[in-house]
């Protein structure tokens, strides 16, 4: 088995403030291997995007990594100074964000932006970088790339702009890409094309992708494994097919139960009662206990750690000896 591209070990992110310290991520651990797509899913506020930002060293002060380790390509990066992290971003870690317009400068052609990124990270002449930019646009499915390379972002549709952003993320040949809601701003047909493109690029280049999303349909189509987060904690992780077909954690079961099934009519979809707790008011024990239909006395006292359960790993007392 190849060595992991990404290893996150017991990651903790804190935000100190006047009224105390808020813990946004608490004990997050995951691994990602070459060519693998790991989907990270959960409600808004679960910590999905925060995990991606922490890996890239993009936390806004006063937020900081308060514990744990992050390793990329076998090298620890969470303790590196800013200047060294700037070299790693783009070269070893690529990024795809939700809105491509925020990733592209409207004043420069897409070719100029690609060439600049390529030359910052790779030893190429301007002509060589332009040739690579055209080839990247061709790889991501931009028609007539020799002409479109000199167009501006506003001259592309939303789906084409997202393809350009993917080309930017791949431009320095990183082994890891953090894709944060890359299909949310696109219509369904374009979403399918972008998902298929990401999947093909992973298979062809061996690039690993951490895919952050709230859409279980995207997870089912694109990911090899899925990690479910709740209130800054990992509650279940495993192979996509196993987790989606037979979820173990009550929270994952609630997420799957809220999705309508094709060909099966129901009067009312199931829902998870309540809401995600504020980060400064996470209950003791299991953070999900106020909303859990199977809650027991143990859930209010002690926090369960991730442990093997069936085909996945879950952080739930039900799978670890009961809740009584």
Report how far Cα 126 is from the mean position of its chain's Cα atoms.
33
SS3 of residue 278 by DSSP: coil
Q: What is d(CA 316, CA 303) in angstroms, rounded to the nearest whole number?
A: 8
Residue 324's pLDDT band (cuts 50, 70, 90): low
Question: How far, in Å, CA of 125 to CA of 110, rounded?
Answer: 18
**Token couple for 268:** 């009312």
pLDDT at 240 over 80: yes
pLDDT at 264 over 80: no
- Tell me the per-residue pLDDT of 272-289, one tens digit each, with 9 for 90 and over: 999 999 999 999 999 999
Read off the DSSP letter of residue 267.
S
- The pLDDT confidence band at residue 269, using thresholds 50, 70 and 90, is confident
Query: pLDDT value at position 188?
Result: 83
Top pLDDT among 290 and 188 is at 290
The pLDDT tens digits for 195-221 are: 888 888 888 889 999 999 988 888 998
Instruction: Return the pLDDT at 128.
Output: 97
Task: Please give the Cα distance from 318 to 311 (Å, whole number).
Answer: 15
pLDDT in tens, 163-186: 999 999 999 999 999 999 988 777
Q: Which residue has the higher pLDDT, 195 or 10?
A: 10
Which residues face 7 on adjacent strands?
A: 31, 71
Cα 47 to chain centroid, rounded: 10
**C-alpha span between 15 and 50 (Å, rounded):** 12
pLDDT for residue 108: 97
Backbone angles phi, psi at 14, to 5 degrees: -115, 150
Binned at pLDDT 50, 70 and 90, residue 319 comes out as: confident
Residue 95 — very low, low, confident or very high, per pLDDT cuts 50/70/90? very high
Q: How many residues does the chain have?
A: 324
* Predicted confidence (pLDDT) per residue in 47-58, tens digit: 999 999 999 999
Provide the greatest CA pair distance for the chain. 68
Q: Over 70: is that where the pLDDT of 242 sits?
A: yes
Q: How far is CA 196 from CA 165, 193, 209, 271, in A?
A: 15, 5, 13, 30
Q: What is the pLDDT of residue 276?
A: 93
Q: What is the mean pLDDT of residues 22-29?
A: 96
What percentage of the chain exceeds 90 in pLDDT? 74
The set of residues, in sequence order, having a beta carbon less than 8 Å from that of 75 and lying 6+ positions away, is: none
pLDDT of residue 104: 93
Q: Is the separation of the CB atoms in 35 and 176 below 8 Å?
A: no
Top pLDDT among 185 and 79 is at 79
Segment 244-261 shows an average pLDDT of 88
Q: What confidence category does residue 310 fall into, taking pLDDT thresholds of 50, 70 and 90? A: confident
Q: Is pLDDT of 42 > 70?
A: yes
Assigned token pair, 1: 């088995």
| Strands 93-96 and 176-180, bridge-based pairing | parallel
13 DSSP β-pair partners? 25, 65
Asked if residues 208 and 173 have their Cβ atoms less than 8 Å apart, the reply is no
Neighbours of 261 (CB within 10 A): 10
DSSP assignment of 119-140 equals HHHS---HHHHHHHHHHHHHHT
3 CB-side CA count, 13 A: 6
| Nearest CA among 129, 160, 155 for reference residue 142 | 160
- Average pLDDT of the chain is 92
């Amino acid at each position: 088995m190849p060595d992991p591209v990404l290893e996150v070990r017991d990651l903790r992110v804190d935000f100190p403030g006047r009224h105390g310290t808020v813990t946004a991520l608490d004990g997050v651990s995951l691994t990602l291997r070459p060519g693998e797509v790991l989907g990270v899913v959960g409600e808004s506020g679960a910590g999905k995007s925060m995990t991606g930002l922490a890996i890239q060293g993009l936390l806004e002060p006063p937020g900081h990594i308060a514990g744990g380790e992050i390793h990329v390509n076998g090298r620890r990066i969470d303790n590196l100074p800013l200047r060294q992290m700037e070299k790693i971003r783009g070269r070893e870690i690529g990024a795809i964000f939700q809105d491509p317009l925020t990733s592209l400068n409207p004043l420069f052609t897409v070719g100029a932006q690609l060439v600049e990124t390529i030359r910052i990270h790779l030893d190429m002449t301007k002509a060589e970088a332009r040739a690579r930019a055209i080839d990247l646009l061709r790889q991501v499915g931009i028609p007539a790339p020799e002409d479109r390379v000199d167009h501006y972002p506003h001259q592309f549709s939303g789906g084409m702009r997202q393809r350009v952003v993917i080309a930017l993320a791949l431009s320095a040949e990183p082994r890891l890409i953090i894709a944060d809601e890359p299909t949310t701003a696109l219509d369904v047909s374009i979403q399918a094309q972008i998902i298929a493109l990401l999947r093909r690029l992973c298979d062809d280049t061996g690039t690993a992708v951490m895919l952050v999303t709230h859409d279980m349909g995207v997870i089912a189509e694109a990911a090899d494994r899925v990690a479910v987060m709740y209130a800054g904690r990992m509650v279940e992780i495993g192979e996509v097919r196993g987790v989606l077909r037979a979820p173990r954690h009550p929270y994952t079961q609630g997420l799957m139960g809220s999705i309508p099934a094709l060909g099966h009519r129901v009067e009312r979809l199931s829902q998870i009662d309540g809401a995600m707790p504020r980060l400064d008011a996470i209950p003791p024990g299991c953070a999900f206990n106020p909303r859990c239909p199977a809650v027991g006395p143990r859930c209010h006292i002690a926090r369960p750690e991730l442990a093997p359960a069936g085909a996945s790993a879950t952080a739930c007392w039900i799978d670890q000896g009961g809740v009584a």
